Structure 1
Amino acid sequence: STNVLKVDAVTVPAGLNVVLTYDGLTNRPTSAGSFTVIGAINEANYEGSATNTFLVNKASQVITIAPMTNSIPLKDLTNVVVSASSDSGLPVSLSLDTNSVAVLSGATNNGSGVLNNIQQTGNVYLRASQAGNGNYQAASDAALTINVVKLNQSITFNTLPAQVYTNAPFTLSASASSGGRW
């Protein structure tokens, strides 16, 4: 983190100069951890010191999967871009559960990927994770289920001429909203 954490020292009498060290260093901590802090009075007429422990806890983080519809028609699924991010700025890993009807490809360790090879209806189970580091706790996984569905289609018959029971067989022709013709 770029946040500089500060310890304040209070003296009696008030206002005395105090030199603080953190594990023996004068630089203040910029990361999580446990630090031994020593405050030593730096005055000509006063002396004294105190020691304490300064604990900097890891920060929490939250993963967000970029919004997308939870139901996608099979015909529209050739390459679907998916992405996720963490509010910590750390890279997020994407994965699919084993019973997903898609394959995840691309740079899946930087929070983005592409769902492809979707050839059947069913569910795609996307999972985003971030393991944490020295300053951030592991995030709770984020999950998204996408239902891959078949579209309803309509079939339209061309106009039929009037027929009489005794007429010879005739040809029907029709077209489907999916583009098929018969």
Structure 2
Amino acid sequence: VANQDGNANYNAASWMPILTTVHKANQTITFGTAPSLTYLGSSGTLSATASSNLPVSFGTATPTVCTVSGTTVTPVAAGICNITADQAGDAHHSAASQVTQTITVAKANQTIIFDSAPSLTYNGATANVTATASSGLIVDFGSTTPTVCTVSGTTVTPVALGTCTITADQAGDANYNPAPQVTQNITVNKADQVITLGTAPNLTYLGYDGTLSATASSGLTVNFGTTTPTVCTVSGTTIAPVAVGICTITADQSGDANYNAAPQVTQNIVVNKANQFITVGDIPHGLLVQAPVTVSAVASSGLEVTFITLTPQTCQVSGTTVSVATAAVTTGTCRISAQQAGNENFKPAPWVMQTINIGDGSFCTECLPSRGGWRAILGNFPQ
């Protein structure tokens, strides 16, 4: 209201009301320092002040990157998080103009952990390598030693003996940084090998040499030897019989840079007894009943030949001497067998039978040996 009380000259004026509009005050919002945010990391705390000192409300314009509850901002994905700040005003203050704060949600770091290394053997089966990234993303494998091992996907193939170095990488994605590369060393071990013997040769005492055969699964050359040198000898792949008995052959493969030595294998070969035959000598011309006959024969073995009478009623044998059984025997047939019983190295020889005709000496023309054996006349011949 407006009034005037007057003075010595003026009466008091009538009062009059005056109407005036009082406007609300404007206000502004100022953000505090933005929090650091990382994908899958901790939430952050937002701060802002209004010039009115009234409380500020926060929101997000990028809910796929971050969410807001009260003053708490939570990262949802890597990217740009836009925070809005508002103050609606009150009876004395107008609503503040909305302001925004941009916060970068950083990519998360990740690590790779290898699982247990597989066993690898030269020329052996392939194996699988496994590793996990803390991000859950797929890990890629490689080899820094391609002359020792190669990698395809998760499959590692041994190529040679040595240390196989496997690399594991994860390149990251929209939310994850690339993982630091990690490596795993795997020893490619020597391969085992086995020896397979071939068919044993037939061996006979004083017979032909034989040829040994065997193969190693490695393809390496097999070496032969003998543990019975008194029965057989070995040179290279040639086996020579020395005596009758069991010849034990050893087969070895000592391995190389890629293969372990093979377990020794043995092969028993029977050296059979040799055959022998008897060759008889000629009967002397001119035989007398009263005079013994000397017979002869040799065995191919060199062993002594034994003579046996097959007709003891007409003749008898002592050593190599054949005579009539008694003085009364003047005619008939004397059959002599030449025998060799064999020994540890020779089989018995087939018998050779010799026939001697006993007579009075009148048919001396038959005194010559026949083709079938000994055939002679044992009788009285003119002096």
Q: Which residue of 1 aligns with 2:259?
A: 136
Structure-2 separation of matches of 1:126 and 1:90 = 18
Pick aligned residue for 2:169 from 37, 40, 51: 40
Alpha-carbon deviation of 1:97? Answer: 3.4
Alpha-carbon deviation of 1:26? Answer: 10
Structure-2 separation of matches of 1:119 and 1:26 = 49
Q: Which residue of 1 aligns with 2:191?
A: 59
Give 1:20's aligned amino acid.
G
Give 2:190's aligned amino acid.
K
Residue 212 of structure 2: SS of its match in structure 1?
strand
Residue 170 of structure 1: SS of its match in structure 2?
strand
Q: Does 1:31 align with 2:160?
A: yes
Pick aligned residue for 1:89 from 201, 211, 219: 219
Q: Which residue of 1 aligns with 2:31?
A: none
Q: Do 2:244 and 2:273's aligned partners in 1 also have CA atoms closer than 8 Å? A: yes
Q: Which residue of 1 aligns with 2:208?
A: 78
Residue 134 of structure 1: SS of its match in structure 2?
coil
Q: Do 2:166 and 2:183's aligned partners in 1 also have CA atoms closer than 8 Å? A: yes
- Indicate how the Cα distance of structure 1 residues 60 and 19 shifts in structure 2: closer, same or farther if over 3 A, else same: closer
Q: Do 2:147 and 2:159's aligned partners in 1 also have CA atoms closer than 8 Å? A: no
| Sequence identity percentage | 25
Q: Deviations over 1:97-119 (max 9, x none)?
A: 373433323xx3xxxx1212x34
Pick aligned residue for 1:120 from 216, 233, 243: 243
Q: Which runs of 5+ in 2 are unaligned?
A: 1-121, 151-157, 279-306, 315-324, 341-347, 354-383
Q: Which residue of 1 aligns with 2:54?
A: none
User: Which of 126-135 and 10-19 deviates more?
Assistant: 10-19
Q: Do 1:16 and 1:42's aligned partners in 2 also have CA atoms closer than 8 Å? A: no
Give 1:61's aligned amino acid.
Q
Q: Deviations over 1:71-94 (max 9, x none)?
A: 85426x312121111122221111
Residue 213 of structure 2: SS of its match in structure 1?
strand
Q: Deviations over 1:93-150 (max 9, x none)?
A: 1122373433323xx3xxxx1212x343244331111111222211111112334242
Structure-2 separation of matches of 1:135 and 1:26 = 11
Across the two proteins, how many residue pairs are aligned to each other?
A: 171
Residue 137 of structure 1: SS of its match in structure 2?
coil
Q: Which residue of 2 aligns with 1:170?
A: 334
Alpha-carbon deviation of 1:180? Answer: 6.6
Give 1:114's aligned amino acid.
T
Q: Which runs of 5+ in 1 are unaligned?
A: none
- Indicate how the Cα distance of structure 1 residues 24 and 42 shifts in structure 2: closer, same or farther if over 3 A, else same: farther
Residue 172 of structure 1: SS of its match in structure 2?
strand
Q: Which residue of 1 aligns with 2:370?
A: none
Mark the structure with the bigger radius of gyration. 2
Residue 126 of structure 1: SS of its match in structure 2?
strand
- Indicate how the Cα distance of structure 1 residues 26 and 40 shifts in structure 2: closer, same or farther if over 3 A, else same: farther
Structure-1 separation of matches of 2:128 and 2:209 = 52
Q: Deviations over 1:28-48 (max 9, x none)?
A: 140232223221224565412
Q: TM-score, normalised by structure 2?
A: 0.36
Q: Which residue of 2 aligns with 1:16?
A: 138
Alpha-carbon deviation of 1:5? Answer: 4.0
